[in-house]
Amino acid sequence: MKRIGLLGGMSWESSVEYERMINRGVREALGGTASADLVIRSYNFAEIESLQAAGEWDHAGRLLASDAHQLQQAGAEMILLCTNTMHVVAPAIEQAISVPFVHLADATAEAVRAAGITDVALLGTGYTMEQDFYRARLESFGLTVLVPDEPDRTIVHDVIYDELVQGVVSDDSRLAYQSIIDRLVERGAGGVIAGCTEIELLVGPDDVGVPYFATTQLHAQAAVALALS
């Protein structure tokens, strides 16, 4: 089994889901008391959030790239970045390591294509929905990516930062997300990507009427498959 390096804590509410899913995947594959071989760097999310808000992406990239290299030195044979938004600095991380970087958007796009869907909705932080680092990666797989119009984008973003990363899961916010998804489906979306790991704490497959792509689960599955290959 290959050792998996996790860059997490962005937020820990979702990062613990990565650990749970990866460990469960290994146990299901190998049986008995088997669990994953993990090495983890978990951050104080308040520090990461302040870099996001200030637009200090280069600073954040240097930080995560340095820590990814340290995970490799600690024996990691692949690196996962346990957050959608911070994949904006994925190129810096990839340059700093010589082991595979399991890109979250790639695992997601492959699942969308496998489902036979070409037009897909993307929910995430404002950074993920509005910048092209994530959307362009999905589009490189031949997908058409739809994001909410305003004020829906602001609602999606604010629920993530004001509630979900702080462990608050609200029925009112779930209903708001469902309405936003419905509007995206009306625009032609054949499925919806939960493009922020925390969204999976609020909305699940049973809450939407189209195929639902939970990026945390897909990323974890990709990591387990590579670790056991």
Per-domain residue ranges for the chain?
4-103+217-227, 104-214
State residue 23's pLDDT score.
97
At residue 123, does pLDDT exceed 90? yes
Residue 144 a catalytic site member: no
**pLDDT of res. 14:** 78
The one-letter amino acid at 118: T
Q: What is the mean pLDDT of the chain?
A: 95
pLDDT greater than 90 at residue 10: no
In this prediction, residue 165 carries a pLDDT of 86
CA distance 95 to 78: 13
CATH architecture designation of domain 104-214: 3-Layer(aba) Sandwich (3.40)
104-214 shares the fold of 4-103+217-227: yes
Instruction: Tell me yes or no: is domain 4-103+217-227 CATH 3.40.50.1110.
Output: no
Euclidean distance between CA atoms 179 and 122, whole angstroms: 14
Cβ–Cβ under 8 Å, residues 212 and 204? yes
Q: Which of 85, 108, 125, 196 is catalytic?
A: 196
For the chain, how many residues are written? 229
Q: Is 196 a catalytic residue?
A: yes
Which residue is catalytic, options 83, 125, 197, 215? 83
Which pTM was predicted?
0.90
At residue 110 the predicted structure's pLDDT band, cuts being 50, 70 and 90, is very high
Angle of helix 171-186 versus helix 152-162 axis, rounded to 10: 150
In this prediction, residue 109 carries a pLDDT of: 97
